[in-house]
Structure 1
Amino acid sequence: MNALLKSPIAAVSPKVNTTREDIKGILCVDNCQMMFTDCPGILESHRRRKFCSPLVNTAWKAYDEADVCLFVLDAVKRPDATLFRIVRKLAGAPPFAPESDAYNHPAGSYGNGDQHQEGLRFNDQDDIDELMDGEESDVKDEFGIDDDIYTSVQQETRKPVALVLNKIDLVEHKKWVKSRTREMKNHGTFADVFYTSAKHGIGFKPMLEFLKTMAKPGMWVYPPNMLTTMSQVQVVEQMVRTYIYCWFNKELPYRVGQKVIGWTVAENGSLIIEMELYVRNDKAAKVICGIQGRIVKQLQKNVSHRLSKMWNEPVFLYVQVKVKALL
């Protein structure tokens, strides 16, 4: 969503559950206004974890409210049986789905994403267009099998689902992406398939054209210059969360609370934001602060710079780290 809106409004990191609540972004293209909802990921294991259950409920609620579902997958990660079951539940399975070719490949990722170097294929729009040649819509009136993973999604409430294979800039050979596409089509019925790279901002034009065809006639809900329904405070929290999740490992990022406690416009027109980060013990506080406070100072500097660029005004963020017994 950040790549579509060209603005870092949602927290992004390699960790699971970086997105904790629905984040809505608004994009106006020609005479069409689209509202995107970035929701928590759907994982089968979340059903068995009390902590994760609300995240799954949030994701399904967002699905129920949507007109179209964009099912975003990592093109370089190998899918498993759990993912295939989710695909069948969301997109409906073909009536006689052949065996997936996921199990005809050795374990691991397609391509060599971890050792990606500049100059590999799929780095421009021409490669995307070539991949999409020959792709046909697979929309059908009947959806295939029933599954008992997420009973909240019934056949009569299914939405059009488009498959989005992201991170194709990390894939070395086009045949791997085409194989992944066939693999997904063996388990789901997709309205269309798109190949994108959010990092390089390529592959989004065909997706937007598809979404424009799915838009319903009506008055615009939001002003044309509005990017998100989140408040500025929430935008700050999302940006801080991005750095916390990217910089720290294991369980620590999930145990950091945050709260904006000050919001002041100075006489010179600059915006001063004060925030507190809450951790459970002194050891975690020392990790967050770093030696001589270097990490938290770098956090302040990075977030201040990005907010200043986003809002076109000087912004200064000041962060304090505090220990709370219960978090």
Structure 2
Amino acid sequence: MEAEQHKDSVHTESPTTRAGSVAIIGKPNVGKSTLLNTILGTKLSIVTPKPQTTRKRVIGIYTGERVQMVFLDTPGILEPRYELHRAMMGYVHDALKDADVIVLVVDVTQQPTPETVVTPDVAEALHRLRKPIIVALNKIDLLRSTAEVLPIIERYAATGLFAELVPISALKHANVDELLRVIERYLPESPFLYDPELLSTQPERFFVAELIREQIFLLYRHEVPYSTEVQIVEFRERPEGKWFIAADIIVERESQKAILIGSGGSRLKTLGQRAREAIEAYLGVPVYLQLYVKVRGRWRNNKTMLHFFGY
């Protein structure tokens, strides 16, 4: 009788699940946002060829059969030149503090040795965290031979700082499933933290502003993309017809405003068209988008303005 009761309890016991936060960190342009988008199977973080595209922490939630990972995509690690950069590095520090697991993304074509990524100060900071750090050796598809990654793995392993090293190509989806399996092993046993259907805890307004900013990075050159900020001033959902979205594009100088607008408003029109298409693809509804360009001198060094812009 007792054996039968034990048998029943075994059958009714729910399988163990794991859940926790995973910080994605690394230098600019190593493929952090591409990795997050590949893991989620959808575009959540904006991606451009220019460094410093990501400015704020982007939250993406991956849910598998028995695991839920709350990814924190962070700005690229850099030496701050503006208050904006300091705010961006604040997101990195917060993510490291909040995370259960840290994924350090490395571009194997640019950072074949740990010294290019892990300075003595960084090494000390990572050691103090006392958290599992997994190195994602990204862009292996750009190597002439996969064998070239072996000495890179050995060099990073020799530091003794990292729990695991996983070669991947985020762009080509190569070995990303293995990276997920490795991360899962280091997450704590826990019930899921969010509804399995949820992809992010951030509002649609945030991602709409990011999509506009992405098009600015793709369409403009030199200092203009880095001097712009996008604020959604109106976001009106409609049961019928087009949703109405109005956004301010903030720049630092009148000359930048002129470049953004272009002759007779031609460049702003192109920007609006490209941004609207990206927003409609994201929201799945038709959109009427209005863009305004405004000058706010030296906003990148103004703490009050940065706070107003959500940094």
Same fold, TM exceeding 0.5?
yes
Match status 1:242 vs 2:214: yes
Q: Aligned match of 2:190 in 218, 221, 224?
A: 218
Distance in structure 2 (CA, Å) of the matches to 1:308 and 1:262: 16
Distance in structure 2 (CA, Å) of the matches to 1:212 and 1:149: 25
Match status 1:322 vs 2:298: no
Q: Aligned match of 1:61 in 53, 72, 94?
A: 94
> 2:114·2:156 contact (CA, 8 Å) conserved in 1?
no
Residue 214 and residue 316 in structure 1: after superposition, are their counterparts in 2 closer, same or farther (change >3 A)? farther
Return the letter of the residue paired with 1:38.
D
Q: Aligned match of 1:252 in 215, 221, 224?
A: 224
Instruction: Give the superposition deviation at 1:190.
Output: 2.6
Residue 287 and residue 176 in structure 1: after superposition, are their counterparts in 2 closer, same or farther (change >3 A)? farther
SS in 1 for 2:68: strand
Residue 267 and residue 220 in structure 1: after superposition, are their counterparts in 2 closer, same or farther (change >3 A)? closer
TM-score for the superposition, normalised by structure 1 = 0.72
Distance in structure 1 (CA, Å) of the matches to 2:122 and 2:105: 19
Match status 1:280 vs 2:239: no
1:167-216 C-alpha deviation (Å, 9 max, x unpaired):
22222222322232223223344322222222233321111112222232
CA RMSD of aligned residues (A): 2.5
Distance in structure 2 (CA, Å) of the matches to 1:195 and 1:7: 22
Report the equivalent of 2:6.
none
Gaps spanning 5+ residues in structure 2: where? 1-35, 300-311
Deviates more, 1:173-182 or 1:290-299: 290-299
**Within 5 Å, which residues of 2 pair with 1:7-22?**
7-22=42-57
1:45-75 C-alpha deviation (Å, 9 max, x unpaired):
33x7655333323212211211111110112
Return the letter of the residue paired with 2:38.
A
Return the letter of the residue paired with 1:232.
E
Instruction: Give the superposition deviation at 1:245.
Output: 2.4
**Within 5 Å, which residues of 2 pair with 1:138-287?**
147-149=120-122, 152-155=125-128, 157-266=129-238, 268-287=240-259
Match status 1:77 vs 2:77: no
Gaps spanning 5+ residues in structure 1: where? 87-146
The percentage of aligned residue pairs carrying the same residue is 25
SS in 2 for 1:268: coil
Return the letter of the residue paired with 2:249.
L
